[in-house]
Amino acid sequence: MTDFEPILPVVVIDDARDAEPLARALVAGGIRQAEITLRTAAALGALRTMSAIPGITVGVGTVLEPEQAEAAIDAGAAFVVSPGLSDAVVAVCERRRVQAVPGVATATEAMRARSLGLRTLKFFPAESSGGPAALSALSSVFPELEFVPTGGIDADRAPAYLALPSVIAVGGSWMVPRTAIAAGDFAAIEALCRAAVGVVR
């Protein structure tokens, strides 16, 4: 099982050559984990590079199919995040002994995930699903579940989620802007990471 820290950068990367300096900027900024989304052709290459760098735990996001989960785990993913709950993706993760973190937004979805033995879930899309108030209500009937809310969260909104006892981490891209990665502005990313970590102190 992954021991999530409070801030989980959700990364969209367009060039795998940016993966190493990005990982080093995250670590220098005080963040030791990242989710690489499968939204670009560079994602698996970036995952492979970043997962080999000491001091950072790297998982994969936007996993829709079991084949994607297999490929990501082969590339070094330490956890697998999906926008929704796929039994087939969860089955791959169980067989490969890698943590699955599927997305849920309703009590019915949380119950399905719970019936599969899952205890760490992504609350997605967080902001448009009712934000901290909705997640607080959901958590009240599932005290054994822990959540990683993602979707529309920024530096201003993160503290309200992190104040909930059920929230172990907040996922977002505000500290890893796609444009800054593409521009090679890793100093800016390091500064944004430091600020993000400061939010939870």
pLDDT tens profile 23-42: 999 999 999 999 999 999 99
% of the chain at pLDDT higher than 90 = 98
DSSP state of 165: T
The predicted-structure confidence for 98-130, as pLDDT tens digits, reads as follows 999 999 999 999 999 999 999 999 999 999 999
Is 5 a catalytic site residue?
A: no
Domain extents in the chain: 7-199
Question: Which pLDDT belongs to residue 41?
Answer: 97
| pLDDT exceeds cutoff 90 at 200 | no
Q: Cα(179)–Cα(191) distance, rounded to whole angstroms?
A: 15
Determine the pLDDT at residue 1. Answer: 74
**What pLDDT, on the 0 to 100 scale, is given for residue 201?**
63
Catalytic, out of 5, 65, 109, 122: 122
Sheet holding 103-104, edge to edge: 103-104, 120-123, 146-149
CATH fold label, 7-199: TIM Barrel (3.20.20)
According to the model, what pLDDT value does residue 51 have? Answer: 96
What percentage of the chain exceeds 70 in pLDDT? Answer: 100
Q: Which residue is it, tokens 């989960």?
A: 69
Asked whether the predicted pLDDT for residue 197 surpasses 80, the reply is: yes
Whole-structure pTM value: 0.97
Segment 59-98, tens digit of pLDDT: 999 999 999 999 999 999 999 999 999 999 999 999 999 9
If you average pLDDT over every residue of the chain, what do you get? 97
- Out of 35, 70, 146, 190, pick the active-site residue: 35
The residue type found at 194 is: R
Q: Is 187 left (phi over 0), alpha (psi -120 to 50) or beta?
A: alpha
94 is catalytic: no
